[in-house]
Structure 1
């Protein structure tokens, strides 16, 4: 922007400030200061961002079922390592979206037995075409896997093995999130 081409800004007659109680006083006290008044910010675009539109009931149900089906498939594998209670069910929020989380800690399954469990999960998910990413984090064996509709992350720790199932991130209201969480919790508890 130059003096010759001020863009959307333009010089205004200094007398304009005389009608404003605040700026006229500032001008009176500081005649050596140039005062620049900017136009108001343009109003935000009223059209909603389609990426932030709430997910349909079908999309929410599909995401919940995808996570439940993973739990249904891996639950027998986990049960082979001892008594099994239902996983915790919650939502993780990030960037205005929520992902359904089922998490199960298996206390007493140490790192050696947890590594065996991770290998069992790796074979199970690999046979179903999941993208697999075994590895080590902070010296602990890990497994990350996804089929695009859900993700699994498992860590074999020294005192417990923890498995986390995550659904796709969705935009949904608090009310819908609570309803789905309650339904999923009841459903996975009924499989015990």
Structure 2
């Protein structure tokens, strides 16, 4: 029978504590075994499902922009175009997020944009409510695990559409979030 290994020989700090305080029991636990993969872990979605969710988010944003288009001034060429990115979510999930900035000249234009967006959201079946983040008025809406956030800023209305969280492999999540999604 072999002698058990002295755990304090591997941990010099604990050995010093034991020497300075012999009246204290030092207990060293064995390293934890890695947790087994849960049997009910979500199965990563296919590329087609990722593309479909991104298209759904972009279509929702396009519909909102079309609704706001009749009430707002022509877009300033300096304003960035609507864009869609992927953001990471907990537990190896990613979320498509589409954003657009609608320039407004005055508060009345912002109110008109808000009414147009609110009417479009209601017509499309979204559940919405008004809220505030500090002094910034917000319109928040949700439908089928997707959300819309409209924020009124000083010279613009920011429209953000957030899609469903989709389970993906770690490498796919990295590629999507970093913008190298063509490599997936």
In the superposition, the TM-score normalised over structure 1's length comes to 0.68
1:69 aligned counterpart, secondary structure:
helix
1:91 aligns to what? 86
2:157 aligns to what? 161
Could you list the runs of 5+ residues in structure 2 that have no partner in the other structure? none
Comparing 25-34 with 164-173, greater Cα deviation is found at: 25-34
Does the 8 Å contact 1:110/1:161 carry over to 2? no
**Which structure has more helix as a fraction of its residues?**
1
1:113 aligns to what? 109
Say if 1:23 and 1:33 are closer, same or farther in 2 by CA, change over 3 A: farther
2:14 paired with 1:45: no
Q: Choose 1 or 2 for highest CA Rg.
A: 1
Structure 2 distance, partners of 1:72, 1:19, is 63
Aligned 1:131-142 pairs, distance under 5 A: 131-142=127-138
Structure 1 distance, partners of 2:62, 2:19, is 75
1:1-30 Cα distance to aligned partner (Å, 9 max, x none)? xxxxxxxxxxxxxx9677964689759945
2:62 paired with 1:72: yes
2:73 paired with 1:82: yes
Runs of 4+ in 1 over 4 A off after TM superposition: 15-31, 48-53
Structure 1 distance, partners of 2:107, 2:118, is 16
Structure 2 distance, partners of 1:120, 1:57, is 34
Aligned 1:2-17 pairs, distance under 5 A: none
Structure 1 distance, partners of 2:133, 2:164, is 24
Could you list the runs of 5+ residues in structure 1 that have no partner in the other structure? 1-14, 182-192
RMSD (CA atoms): 3.5
Structure 2 distance, partners of 1:99, 1:33, is 55
The alpha carbon displacement at 1:43 in A equals 0.8
1:32-78 Cα distance to aligned partner (Å, 9 max, x none)? 33443333133122325745653332431232122022023122223
Which of these residues, 114, 119, 122, is aligned with residue 123 of structure 1?
A: 119
Say if 1:131 and 1:49 are closer, same or farther in 2 by CA, change over 3 A: farther
2:166 paired with 1:175: no
In the superposition, the TM-score normalised over structure 2's length comes to 0.70
The alpha carbon displacement at 1:156 in A equals 1.9
The alpha carbon displacement at 1:137 in A equals 3.7
Aligned residues: 168
